[in-house]
Structure 1
């Protein structure tokens, strides 16, 4: 028994120590936080840009790294992402790792071709490639975007993109898009990726959410603008949606990822002004799809709650039911008109929808094969879509009490 006991202790010790064989020190690793992908000069080649975080910046060791940049940026031309990762070791002393990778930026030129889906599809076999990584399409080459993105308030690249993703959930200007969702919708459904640029394209003044990245009239500040979305279908980019269309696309989904969003509508009591409202959803969007008729009938009910955020015209809505109804009808009519315009655009230009309505339609079929034969994309192009917004006003603002409105307007 004593001999067997010592043998058991020996086996357990070997098993415990064997786990240290693959141990790596943090100081020997180069942590890639951002990857950029661009079309190479030759066919079937890609330019891969690695943004490697400096772990000493903004840490307790920052005093030792005051003159060091927050990140190192290296671009390698190769046939795929993993080959570029290996080639990058020819100039980097530390071993590259994707364990902290959070963001993948794709240049629009590459995103519009067939090569992108092959490159990203082959790279996912690397166990370090995180499917939660955010996918962003840049108007310019991803390499130029990464070099130009030098935010003033945040030096750490991984934190910058993390904070931007949090902002998307609060504004809805960009979709919360990641690799996992991208791979789920590569068969034909439309997938929305965040759209960004550091370039400027002056188009004049629009309403607050009708801009696309690069169009927001910005005089100074950080160079990057992220608003709107890139439409991806079958693994490549086929178009764009502006900020308003992106917001509506998320509201029309069964489960909306936007927490709240601030937008403006025409003031129903004074056509010279617009009224600012904070909008969120009181419940999930209700979607019903009738596939037994031709054309397919789709009914969508969107419950929204609004709060008055800024009332520039100083109109009093609290003491008049008629005025409250006018405001409610204005929100309802404008949202339904904007939604109908988006549906028309998608039906005329694309074969598919980004609202995940196909998941509801699929429940009407016994097998996947039956649903595939149904050809949802083509059926959607001719579908009869009825969208109804249920608007409830929960607050008229707290800055001014109703009696103060009349005094201000009369100059008292």
Structure 2
């Protein structure tokens, strides 16, 4: 009996230790945190840019790496991503791994090519490819974007993109886009990817959120701007949405990922000024889809909670119900107008929608084949879409009663 127990103990001991057989020391690995994909000079070839983090920078071993760069960037030309990964080992002493991959940046030229979907799909065979990796489209080649992106406030490249994604949830200017969502929406639905550039082409006289990447009138600071979205249909880029349109696209979803966002509207009681508000959704967007009607009818109601953040006109809203109602209706009208404009653009240019409204239509069909035969994209193109906003203003700023212009004139 004792010998039998001893044999079982040895066997279990060997089984537990066998898991360490395929281990790899951290110092022997090269952690890729960013990948850039561009079209190659030869047909059906791509240029893959790898940004490899230096694990010693900003760690307890930082004193030993004071003169070292936080990351190393190089480009390999190959037939596909996994081939490029193998070829990179010809000049890299450490074993390259995608286990810490955070971001995949696609040059706009490649994103508009049918080749892109095949490249990224075949790369998912690698078990190290993370489906939660951020997916971005750059106006210029991804190689140029990665080399130009040298943020002054963050030397660690993986932290830079992580912090940027957190800020997108606060502003709504950029969609939350990753590989997992991309693969979910490659069968006719529209997918919104973050749009970025390091090239400046500032626009003036534009509303604060109606910008695309590169158009924000900025002086100094980091060269990179990330705002707006690249519209992808069946895995291929077909157009762009600016920051305002991207925000609306997220508000029209049943489940909005934006926590809060700041926006400004013309003051209806003094149109020389604009009122800045902080808004969020008090509940889920209400969506009704009637597939039995021809043309297809979609009714959407967006409940929005608003608080006044800046009132430059100094109009006294706290003591006048008429002015408060006027402001509420004015905000609702402006948001409905912008939403209708976005719907027209989607129906005319893209023949699809990124709001996941199709999920509300699928429940009306008995089988998947019935839904496919319905051809949601074409039905949406001719659909009658009614969008309304239910705005609730919860406060009008910190002051109970803002001073009026007449009172300020007397004090001066």
What's the secondary structure of 2:89's corresponding residue?
Answer: helix
Counterpart in 1 of 2:214? 214
Tell me the CA shift for residue 2 of structure 1: 2.0
The answer to whether residue 387 in structure 2 is matched with residue 387 in structure 1 is: yes
Q: Does 1:328 align with 2:328?
A: yes
Tell me the equivalent position of 1:78: 78
Q: Which residue of 1 aligns with 2:52?
A: 52
- Is the 1:31–1:53 contact (alpha carbons within 8 Å) kept by the matching residues of 2? yes
Counterparts in 2 of 1:60-209, with a 5 A limit? 60-209=60-209
Verify the 8 A CA contact 2:51 2:73 in the aligned structure 1: yes
Gaps of 5+ in 2: none
Cα separation, 2, equivalents of 1:111 and 1:235? 8
Equivalent in the alignment of 2:33: 33
Q: Quick check: 2:316–2:403 contact (8 Å CA) kept in 1?
A: no
**Deviation, structure 1 residue 56:** 1.2
- Taking the aligned partners of 1:118 and 1:141, their CA distance within structure 2 comes to 19
1:343-390 per-residue CA deviation (whole Å, 9 max, x = no partner) reads 001111112100000000111111110010000000000000000100
TM-score under structure 2 normalisation? Answer: 0.98
- Superposition deviation, residue 24 in structure 1: 1.0
Instruction: Report what 1:254 is aligned to.
Output: 254
Q: CA deviation at 1:397?
A: 1.0
Q: Deviations over 1:302-346 (max 9, x none)?
A: 000111011111111111101111110111000000000000011
Residues 329/23 of structure 1: CA separation in 2 closer, same or farther (3 Å cut): same
Alignment correspondent of 1:270:
270
Equivalent position SS for 1:19: helix
CA RMSD of aligned residues (A): 1.0
Contact 2:202 2:218 in 1 (8 A): no
Count of matched residue positions in the alignment of Structure 1 and Structure 2:
411
- 2:229 is aligned to 229
Post-superposition CA distance 1:63-105 (Å, at most 9, x none): 1111111100011011110110111011111100111111000
State the Cα distance separating 1:410 from its structure 2 match: 4.3
Q: CA deviation at 1:250?
A: 0.2
Taking structure 1 as the reference length, the TM-score comes to 0.98
Q: Distance in 2 between matches of 1:141 and 1:296?
A: 40
> 1:301-320 maps to which residues of 2 (within 5 A)?
301-320=301-320
Query: Cα offset for 1:200?
Result: 1.1
